[in-house]
Each structure stands twice: as C-alpha cells, then as structure tokens.
Amino acid sequence: MIEYNIFRHAGDSLTYDDEVVLAASVSTTIGMLDGNKFGSDKDKFKDAFRTIIETAGYEDIADPSHRFEFASEQAECQMPPEAEYMIMEIDGHVVESVRRGNVSAKIVMSGEMRSLPNGKFGLSEGDRIICATSNFYRKLTDEAILADALVSDNCSEWMNYMIRRISDSCELKCGNLSAVTLIVRGN
C-alpha cells in the first residue's frame, strides 16, 4: 500500500501552471509536470499530460506491466522538447521512474536520502519518496527534507513540516510549488 500527500500552490503567480496527477489502480502512477515554460499553450500540455497519466492508470491496457512504458512513451511523443516532468509507477515494492528536466524525486531509506534514479528501484516498507519541481526543492536543503522525513509519522505530517520551513523563510509567495510525498506501507 502507498500512502501519499499532494501539495499544489500557486504562490504569487496569477495561475497554477504545474500539473500533478496521481492515478491509483493495481499500481500507483504519479506524474508531475513543471508548466512554467509553456506560455499560452500551458493548458493544452497540462491536459495532454493529465490524460497520459490517467490513461496509463485506468485504461484496459492489454498487459498491465506495460502501463509505465505506455505513459513514458506517450509523454516523450506528446510533450514538447522543453517540457520538464517526472513519471513514477509504484507496483508493490518496486518503483519505476523516468524524468526529464528539473522535476525529480528523492528517496529516504534506512535513515539516508538519495536521488531516485531513472529506471527500476526496489522499495522496502517504510521507505519515503518526495517528488517535486525544482522550485519546491530550491527552498529546502537535503538535510531539512531528510530530518522532516525521519520525524514524521505520515505523508501529511512530512509535507506540513517542509511547507512550514518554506513559510518560515517567507518563500510561499515565490511562484508555483508542487510536491508529492509517498510512504511505502505494509499490506
């Protein structure tokens, strides 16, 4: 089972330009798109990205093990070259991810934090993942993210600790902030 919390914040921007999509079925698929480079086409690309993630999560794809592959191939074909995004699929105790640009994920396991690589990576109960845009990470140190992960009991608490750090430094008005926290729980 995957516990998650999603944070979307427009800050001082007139609109929220990023896209965060979570599709849960047999597996959990998360897509995050940094929408600040699209200008007037942002809604078109946000809609296309949302459709890609939702289709991968819910449509009757002949072999469910190909859902992640389907989503990553569709994103590569449909998103413009300047698009920055990350797609992750968590199925049991395995996460598979692909990222392009400055949207990335970090994993906390066994009291240490590291960047989540592209490709497949094994997970254990209690492992924690944060996927965020570069604008969200810019406001936090790796040490702060790790400390907050280690003292929190759930995804909501972990996210709230990080948001509090951003708020305390008066950075919530800095534009779009997007993040998803996840914790691998036992069945």
Q: Could you tell me how many helices (H) and strands (E) the chain has, helices first?
A: 5, 10
The string of pLDDT tens digits covering residues 88-111 is 988 888 999 999 999 999 999 999
Point out which residues pair with 20 in neighbouring strands: 32
In whole angstroms, what is the distance from residue 175 CA to residue 121 CA? 32
The string of pLDDT tens digits covering residues 28-51 is 888 999 988 787 888 889 988 888
The string of pLDDT tens digits covering residues 120-149 is 999 999 999 999 999 889 889 999 999 999
Residues 6+ apart with CB under 8 A from 2: 24, 28, 90, 182, 183, 184, 185
In whole angstroms, what is the distance from residue 80 CA to residue 67 CA? 21
In whole angstroms, what is the distance from residue 169 CA to residue 138 CA? 12
DSSP state of 141: -
CATH 3.60.40.10 fits 2-184, yes or no: yes
Number of Cβ within 10 Å of residue 61's Cβ equals 15
Domain ranges of the chain: 2-184
